[in-house]
Structure 1
């Protein structure tokens, strides 16, 4: 498992010419041959990412049966109504088509999470209030959490995945890698 930093792609090999200047996970340490990320976090997202050389395990985790929990810092003080809309499902765009997200779990966090400082600054409360929410999904469409919070009027400023199944980010530091002997998802 790794705490994927902001600004890195969730891959070890450069797959295209446009990505020549992009940072890859392999720059964060020594990894076994054939290792791959299970699922993805976009370049602007951070947090828990599982790594494996087992394609079946990767497929099982990405199947839609495993919960993934995210903490999102939002622009504005999110309302109870907006959280309710997120939990019921909201319309987002996906592959050029409209899509209604599946029902999920969401709630406003009472305290600001204690994450390490990010390498790129985020605007602070001097420019208006922010709030933090927990959103737990089984699906994982392209930039889904960001699209969901924007759809209810509260764009995401920072997004951190904190849990995949029963594996938690915990107190890991940005860029830290931990070896799991057995994954009990």
Structure 2
């Protein structure tokens, strides 16, 4: 079997599985290739890049934190982000059962390249929102959302924009679409 890798831009509300779900649409509604499985998950209420493969070793290499493949997220959070919160994220944050590895974190302006989320986030007239770019190598259950909450800024919208060297916007991958990455490398070559 030839090694194959595809990138999918997952919409909000889609569950990262192929088997039918009672409430949510699944990957099956978007991808009809046999024997492909997600290399790591993206929560149903998160959007953006999911890599899928039909090669078990590659799936493990992408998903396992021991290979240090970076994942970059854009998070819209409640409140005005502070440099103190960014500093804490950069140092690693204590969550209930573990301390996160240091992250690359920075405040960003609201991205103009993002699609409209359906449904839109809840808006409060008296509470502003701000945007954060966060790059991690772990990817534990709801980690980015939990990190944001731990520094006092609950996450309202979360979009994974990059895994390794593949960026959604560099490759113009539209929402709900997928493309083959067979000739693409995820790791930097030096």
| TM-score in terms of structure 2 length | 0.87
Structure 2 partner of 1:73? 76
The CA distance in 1 between the partners of 2:56 and 2:126, in whole Å, is: 45
Report how far residue 173 of structure 1 moved. 2.2
* 1:28 counterpart residue number: 30
Residues 47-86 of structure 1 correspond to what in structure 2 (within 5 A)?
47-64=48-65, 65-86=68-89
The answer to whether 1:12 aligns with 2:12 is: no
The equivalent residue for 1:104 is: 103
Structure 2 residue aligned with 1:177: 178
How far off its partner does 1:104 sit?
A: 1.1
**Does 172-181 or 140-149 show the bigger shift?**
172-181
Q: Distance in 2 between matches of 1:34 and 1:114?
A: 32
5 Å-filtered alignment, 1:124-139, equals: 124=123, 126-139=125-138
Partner residue in 1 for 2:165:
166
Q: Tell me the residue number matched to 2:4.
A: none
- After the TM superposition, which of the residue ranges 126-135 and 107-116 deviates more from structure 2? 107-116
Return the offset for 1:11.
1.2
Once residues 106 and 121 of structure 2 are traced to their aligned partners in structure 1, the CA distance between those partners, rounded to angstroms, is 22
Whole-angstrom distance in 2 between the partners of 1:33 and 1:123: 37
- Unmatched segments (≥5 aa) in structure 2: 1-6
1:2 aligns with 2:41: no
CA–CA distance in structure 1, aligned partners of residues 175 and 120 of structure 2: 15
SS in 2 for 1:122: coil
Offset at residue 111 of structure 1 (A) = 4.0
Q: Distance in 1 between matches of 2:23 and 2:77?
A: 29
Call closer, same or farther: CA 1:123–1:34 in 2, change over 3 Å.
Answer: same
Secondary structure of the residue aligned to 1:108 is: strand
Cα deviation for residue 125 of structure 1 reads: 6.5
In the superposition, the TM-score normalised over structure 1's length comes to 0.89
Structure 1 residue 127, shift from structure 2 partner:
4.1
TM-superposed deviation, 1:113: 4.1
Instruction: Determine the structure 1 residue equivalent to 2:3.
Output: none
What is the root-mean-square deviation of aligned Cα atoms in Å? 1.5
